[in-house]
Structure 1
Amino acid sequence: MDQRPHILIIEDDVEIRSLLRDHLAREGFRVDVGDGGAALDRFRTTFGDPDLVVLDIMLPGEDGLSICRRLRAASRLPILMLTAKGDEIDRIVGLEMGADDYLPKPFNPRELVARIRAILRRAEPAPLENRRFIVNTRLTVDLDKREIAHAEDGPLPLTSAEFELLGCFLTRPNRVLSREQLMDWTRGRQADPLDRTIDVQVSRLRKKIEREGELIKTVRSAGYIFTGSVKEL
């Protein structure tokens, strides 16, 4: 059985699609391609989920944001979105829809490979990490299994990026963590001063885990601090 990571590229530009397919194949990935949402649906029906989807925002018919929203509603499948250079709104909306990361065009294919590998690393459970936490007596978090459950509501659907961010907070409670630190720990790269990736991910994480009150507090001009009661099991 082929153990190489399986990447699905959804891009309507034939030239870009071929370029990305060939480059990723040379880097050791299994690669399939499609030109839109219908192609993605056919692939998933026939072969199941790939390990990651590279998804262009500007697609004819159903656009990438709509596809991302639809995927995230039913799956934790990692998604890397390709956006237009300088289009901050699309990047923010893509992250709010649940994309794991984004890459503005034009880009160096080597950076695409680095982003893909970083996302795949985050999506894998850390084999040596075997810590479980309970937060405010209501949330149970297992870092090894990447599972989180609420006492009444049951399992909560976090993306790999959101879970990575939560892990940073739980292992460093009551400490102010800067955006730069969080970006480095969760994405393996430095934050651009105008990059709002962490802010968007924190906002999404708050909506999912703050059921009985504030757990993540914004510290003006400094970053964020996890203020919930954290007990390691």
Structure 2
Amino acid sequence: MPRLARASALVIESDADYRLVIAACVESAGVQVQAVAAVSEGLRRLQAGNFELVIWGVPLRDPRRGHIVAQFHEEAEVPLILIDESYEEARESFEAGADQVLPKPFVPGALVGAVKAALRGPGPESLIPLASRIEVGEVVFDSGARTITHGQHSLTLAKREWELLSFLLARPNQWFPTEELVKQAWAGTHNSVEQLRTYVARMRRKLEPLELPFEIASKQGRGYCLVYEAIGTGKP
């Protein structure tokens, strides 16, 4: 039986760190990805290639959003997902023709689910599985087993550790005040600032042997940040 061709998605995101994370999430859903930084290059790729999906990371309060969404639809009648820093302007995006709008920062699982919904065929089941395994460069994240693998090294995180890391991975190079991080990463729980510090210290010890392209940084007065080095750029 011949193998089904993989769906292809075009990702447009000016921020290199976000572009890497978005592409990894989309690829984890079994979709081939071409990722570019500029809208102009995205439109050129859309004209030249065959894509089943477009994902655009909208810059903060970009006044061109409606015009650009219309351009995307002129070039190809495919689903369009926006990841929008100005989420309060989602109505304008929907009116212009966006199929789905996610807030930025986004939750990786929500993006994978949005991709699944956008590429769902006419039948009751999607050809795109909701994957729990994401590869970023040589690093493999398996949310089902809560494991991280880099080369020959692997580790398992506790549930709260995994929730914290997942939250920070979706928001690379962003600082979060300590109390705010507790509320957002562990919403609906009763964890404390002291517990956060304990978890972070334990995670640092676990992650260090893997020599990963990111680290959990902390700074008095600013809180915590997952400092991510974009693979292949050498730039933090």
TM range (shorter): 0.3 to 0.5
TM-score (norm 1): 0.47
TM-score (norm 2): 0.46
